[in-house]
Amino acid sequence: MASPHVAGVAALIVSVFGDSSPNQVTAYLDRTADPQPCPSSLPSTNPVTGLPYLSFLGVDDGKVQSCQGGIGYNSWYGNGQVNALSAITK
């Protein structure tokens, strides 16, 4: 569900600041995102499917996936959670 939210904020950036290249919009989204740390624990079940979380294995290695990286950038949240208010006011 992140993609539609990010696309909407990208459209807001263009509507507020005018024509921008895709690289400029991406950089702006990255700079104004709220950093998200790797989770300290995993949920016991997937809230959408109800299946045990540990049953979701990586396609490439067959292992339970883990979050790698720090608060500034990591493998689960990238640069963080998009922040529409920051994106149009900073």
Residue 25, pLDDT score: 95
The pair of three-digit structure tokens given for residue 14, joined into one six-digit string: 């263009």
Mean pLDDT, residues 54-81? 84
User: How distant, in Å, are the alpha carbons of 11, 37, 47, 68, 85 from that of 19?
Assistant: 10, 32, 39, 35, 19
pLDDT tens digits along 16-46 = 999 889 999 999 999 999 999 998 887 777 7
C-alpha 51/C-alpha 66 separation (Å) is 18
Task: Please state the domain extents for the chain.
Answer: 2-89
Residues forming beta bridges with residue 74, ordered by sequence position: 69, 78
What is the average pLDDT score of the chain?
Answer: 88
Q: Pick the more confident residue, 56 or 52.
A: 52
Residue 69, pLDDT score: 92
Q: What pTM, to 2 d.p., does this model score?
A: 0.74
Contact 80, 34 (CB under 8 A): yes
User: How distant, in Å, are the alpha carbons of 6, 15, 20, 35, 60 from that of 26?
Assistant: 10, 15, 10, 15, 28
